[in-house]
Amino acid sequence: MAIPLNYNLNSLRVRWSSTVVAVLGIAGTVGVFVAVLALAKGFKTTLVASGSPGNALLLRGGSTSEMSSAISLDQEHIIEDAPGVARDSSGPLVSGEVVVIAPFPLKATGTDANVQVRGVSPKALAVRNIKVVSGRFFQPGLDELVVGRNVAGTYSGFDLGNTVKFGGGTWKVVGVFDAGGSAFDSEVWADAHVLNGVYKRPENNFQSVTVRLTSPEAFQHFKDTLTSDPRLTLDVERELEYYDKQSRALTTLITVLGTLVALVMGVGAVFGALNTMYSAVAERSREIATMRALGFGTGSVVTSFVFEALCIAFVGGLIGCLGVLPLNGMTTGAMNWQTFSHLAFAFRVTPPLLVGGIVFALIMGVAGGVPPAVRAARARIAVALREL
Amino acid sequence: MVRVDGSGNGSSLVRVRGLDKKYQRGSEEIHVLQGLNLDVDRGDFVAFMGPSGSGKTTLLNLLGGLDLPTRGTITVAGDEITHLSGGKLTTWRARHVGFIFQMYNLIPVLTAFQNVELPLLLTRLSKSERKQHVETALQVVGLGDRMHHYPRQLSGGQEQRVAIARAIVADPTFLLCDEPTGDLDRKSADEIMDLIDRLVAEHGKTVLLVTHDPVAAARAHTLLHLDKGVLVEAHRAGSTAGGRN
Ligand SMILES: Nc1ncnc2c1ncn2[C@@H]1O[C@H](COP(=O)(O)OP(=O)(O)OP(=O)(O)O)[C@@H](O)[C@H]1O
Ligand SMILES: [Mg+2]
């Protein structure tokens, strides 16, 4: 049987002040680690929420984002006739869309930030299952805007009935829509034809086409039909996959940078833990020797001190996790690097991230606990017993 | 019978033959034990005296399997411990040795009860059996009412009695006491020696005691002096060397 756990727990309680540095080091590291991953997670969640499982997104073949894509109205008509396209009373649920970027003043600072303005079909609401929560949707052919709820809250000038100027046109704000926390909440929508006209872009040209399918299962047949059509060279993707890909670059960047920072901090935290545990072992060398004299083996001593280090790490990890928990749901903005527009999203501190934080803490505990524990077990009993 | 001339027969509980211990201190070599012989029977109570630095602690550490000799053999109850590997020696200590130290060496963050329970954690006893053994041991040393006190809440004499309870609780083959009264006043020291006397007389324990205190040493059946690395029998008034009371 092992050295009783209350030996370590009581020792920790008695000399808690010497563990503070180690605990805080690990807490800080875990806090940064979890916060960064929560940021990446929130960003990804927001973008991926923009896709619906039953939707397909079409871009010109070889395009990586809407910005570099072009699809003609003729092509759109072919798409409308493809199998699997959902319909309502007004016809196929297909939205040919264009995007532009326009600067608007932030409420908080008064300085301009970029907003993605999307020209959509009047059917865009039905295609995406998005609802107007105040005012109304734009009238086709008019210079009217509906804005995502984040835009209404973040930028000044978007009150209902106001007019705003951009792209050489004057627009009237007629409604606010709720896109359920997705990236569309950070967008401004107008009629695609009107937007093309104002921006003097070729009429009858879109950048992307979003299609509502009769069901997610209809996708494969829909895609096969379009990709084998010799009149078209289009990339057909599930909308979810497109946004997942769009989020990947920034998510990866945040994750890699954040992990690097956490690792560097982790090295420091491990040294803090090593320091604490080495001094614990040194202070208690006669206790350890006594246990060894009583017949506890080297394995028991190693286990005992590693357990003690793990307790310190666990408390540190817990504090780190609790510290970042209030960030959960806190909204922030970031540049959507694909389009250089301002995208609002929230930290998402999920249970798996918290578990990851605790595991990271425990790994630091092992790294900081094993060498001192081995030293404790290796000490020669007869020599250690002579020390006072 | 206690013998120091290597003439003991095979029946001794503890048999030491040709024990050498050298320490290296820098370039200097200290030859502490030099071909020491010793035979101790079951139930004996032996005291070792000798000037500071003569090697008394060294001898007890070797007898208790805390250190290995440079040369020579130690056999306890038929087991030659000088050939045991580290892990086996640890297991052997748990079964056969009860240590009592000058500084008590209680674990400060554990109660008297928990300190005394430690050796039992290395046995197969159940929790309730352990509780029973611990309570008995603490009652033997007269601390049945101090079980849940921490060492810092006890006097030196009481701490040493807890340490004695810890040493006897697993019923070891012999007790090794290194100056158990060295840190105590006369009265507490006498109480500790009374207790050790009783362990020998009433419980049949075998005790090897190192002490600087002639009063304490006088309690032993046999008094040995450590002199120039070997043991010699001391001649005392009122007692036959090597005899039993
Ligand atoms: N680990 C060691 N390394 C070097 N020398 C040692 C070591 N341990 C003990 N010694 C030396 O061995 C000699 C005997 O020491 P030991 O502690 O056995 O003496 P002792 O008789 O118990 O003395 P005291 O009465 O002061 O306790 C001393 O000279 C001591 O300095
Ligand atoms: Mg000594």
A175, β-bridge pairs: A135, A146
> What is the structure's pLDDT at B241?
42
Q: What mean pLDDT comes out for the span A120-146?
A: 94
Could you tell me which of A289, A233, A269 has the C-alpha nearest to residue A360?
Answer: A269
Considering every ligand atom shown, identify the ligand nearest to the alpha carbon of residue B178 and give its number: 2
Average pLDDT, chain A: 92
Share above pLDDT 90 across residues of chain A, in percent, rounded to a whole number: 73
Question: Count of A–B CB contacts within 8 Å?
Answer: 76
Helix (H, G, I), strand (E, B) or coil at B94: helix
Which two three-digit tokens encode residue A217? 């299962």
Residue-wise pLDDT tens digits, A224-268: 999 999 988 999 999 999 889 888 888 899 899 999 999 999 999
Residue A130 to residues A146, A245, B99: CA-CA distances in angstroms? Answer: 12, 22, 79
> What is the structure's pLDDT at A336?
60
Residues of A in contact with B131 (CB under 8 A): none
Could you tell me which of B55, B50, B5 has the C-alpha nearest to residue B31?
Answer: B55
Distance in angstroms (rounded) separating the CA atoms of residues A99 and B91: 77
Distance in angstroms (rounded) separating the CA atoms of residues A289 and B6: 32
Q: What is the CATH number of domain B42-66+93-236?
A: 3.40.50.300
Q: Residue ranges per domain, chain B?
A: 42-66+93-236
Residue A318, C-beta contacts closer than 8 angstroms, at least 6 positions apart: A358, A361
Q: Which of A39-43, A131-135, A350-354 has the lowest mean pLDDT?
A: A39-43
Choose the closest CB to B110 out of A10, A380, A385: A10
Query: Model pTM greater than 0.95?
Result: no
Q: What angle (nearest 5°) sits at the alpha carbon of residue B65, between those of residues B62 and B66?
A: 80
Residue-wise pLDDT tens digits, B173-191: 999 999 999 999 999 999 9
**CB spacing of B66 vs A385 below 8 angstroms:** yes
The answer to whether the CB of B36 falls within 8 A of the CB of B230 is: yes
The alpha carbon of B23 and the centre of ligand 1 are apart by a number of angstroms equal to: 9
Residue A150 to residues A52, A103, A180, A183, A211: CA-CA distances in angstroms? Answer: 20, 15, 11, 9, 25
Q: What mean pLDDT comes out for the span B125-148?
A: 96
Is B239 a residue whose pLDDT tops 50? no
Taking phi over 0 as left and psi of -120 to 50 as alpha, with beta for the rest, B28 belongs to beta
> What is the structure's pLDDT at A333?
67
Burial of B8-18, coded b for 16+ CB within 10 Å and e otherwise, reads beeebbbbbbe
| A168 touching B (Cβ < 8 Å) | no
Distance in angstroms (rounded) separating the CA atoms of residues A227 and A56: 13
Q: What mean pLDDT comes out for the span B120-148?
A: 96
Distance in angstroms (rounded) separating the CA atoms of residues B114 and A294: 13
> What is the structure's pLDDT at A106?
86
Pocket mutation for ligand 1, best pick of B28, B34, B57, B226 (most atoms within 8 Å of C-beta): B57
Residue A95 to residues A85, A231, A239: CA-CA distances in angstroms? Answer: 11, 20, 13
Residue B114 to residues A2, B100, B146: CA-CA distances in angstroms? Answer: 14, 17, 12
Which of residues A383 and B235 earns the better pLDDT score? A383
DSSP secondary-structure letter at B220?
S
Residue A79 to residues A54, A98, A101, A130, A156: CA-CA distances in angstroms? Answer: 16, 17, 27, 22, 38
Residues of B in contact with A380 (CB under 8 A): 67
Number of residues that make up chain B: 245
Q: Residue B112 — pLDDT band, cuts 50, 70, 90?
A: very high
A171's enclosing H/E stretch is: strand A169-178
Q: How many helices (H) and strands (E) does chain B have?
A: 7, 11
Could you tell me which of A347, A337, A343 has the C-alpha nearest to residue A249?
Answer: A337
**CB spacing of A382 vs B94 below 8 angstroms:** no
**CB spacing of A295 vs B57 below 8 angstroms:** no
> What is the structure's pLDDT at A378?
93
